[in-house]
Amino acid sequence: MKIIKAMLCYLMPLMFLPQAQARDLRLGLITPPTHQWTKAAEAFAADLGNQSNGRLKVMIFPSGQLGNEAQMLQQLQTGALDMAFLTAGEMANRRPDFAALFAPYLIKTPQQAQQLLQGKTASQMLDELNSLGLVGLGYSMAGLRQIVMKNEVKTVADLQGTKVRTIPIEPERDFWIKVGAAPTPIPLPALYDAFANGQVDGMQIDFEGTWNTRYLDYAGTIIHSSHMMLPMVGVASGRSWKSLDNKDRELISSLAKQHLNDVFSIYEKLDQDYLKKIQDSGARILEVDRSFFGSAVDQWYKEWRIKAPSLPKLEAEAATL
């Protein structure tokens, strides 16, 4: 009896120690289930569930189910949404420094993109997200930007006046204006129909999207330009973050970085794999470099080095890669 009482005296305090709270977290994206960002989110959710013994669960909402990125950012700020994988363009609309990440021909490969986005300048830029009520978890990317046009294209003159789908951010829009095209923002889930029915004449997209979403079916020319990266930022709601204990924050942060990093190496191979599929399909491919765009690239840099103060620093880092 004395032994039982002693054990109870030992165990009773442990029963009343604070336990980490179970949480259901919501993570939003605009990409479809087949996209690498969505796959990375699902893998992150699975690992987080396993490593927290099922205490932390992440529900994934792909394909813009929770709205466009601007709407999701507002939900993050209010705490209605806990996490998101967003294009860095949505940040560029609110913090001009992020526009520097859309500089044409800043990098040449996904590997260089990873090195740049994990470098000193880009890492410091993540801290700017605190002022938006967000916690920056890290960067990733989609495939390098190519151009898919409905008509035959031989020179940049063939792009004059064409409606090119872009995401609704100023640095990307400004690039296409300088090229002489008419940038036309279309939500990603609506892009296939817009291209098929002539609402847009073309788009900048990666090889993965060109193949998997079958934009290829309506393409007259695939311009292999690799002219820009599409950075992604993994973010958490500042409000939700405050409600988590330090141990959970560390686990979420660590696993998010791991899966965001994995996407870089995936695209190093995917860009080549999907290019090969497109080549084998018999599609007309025009391979170009910076000179194809004439003076547009230089004009863009001249203006955006002033608008986005981090751009010269990123250029200097990129030059060493």
Measured distance CA(189)–CA(193) in Å, rounded: 9
Q: Which CATH number applies to 22-141+230-275: 3.40.190.10, 3.40.190.170, 3.30.565.10, 3.40.50.720?
A: 3.40.190.170
Q: Answer whether 108's CB lies under 8 Å from 318's CB.
A: no
On the CB side of 178, CA atoms within 13 Å amount to 20
Q: Where are the beta strands (DSSP E) in the chain?
A: 23-28, 56-61, 83-87, 134-141, 146-149, 163-166, 182-185, 202-205, 221-224, 231-237, 285-287
- pLDDT tens across 229-287, in order? 999 999 999 999 999 999 999 999 999 999 999 999 899 899 999 999 999 999 999 99
- pLDDT tens across 182-206, in order? 999 998 889 999 999 999 999 999 9
Q: Which CATH number applies to 146-228+282-318: 3.40.190.170, 3.30.499.10, 3.40.50.1820, 3.30.1490.20?
A: 3.40.190.170
Q: Answer whether 304's CB lies under 8 Å from 311's CB.
A: yes
User: Which residues of the chain are in CATH 3.40.190.170 domains?
Assistant: 22-141+230-275, 146-228+282-318
Q: Answer whether 267's CB lies under 8 Å from 142's CB.
A: yes
Q: In this structure, how many other beta carbons lie within 10 angstroms of the beta carbon of residue 317?
A: 18
- pLDDT tens across 48-106, in order? 999 999 999 999 999 999 999 999 999 999 999 999 999 999 899 999 999 999 999 99
Tokens 């599409």: give the residue: 230
The number of helix segments (H) and strand segments (E) in the chain equals 13, 11
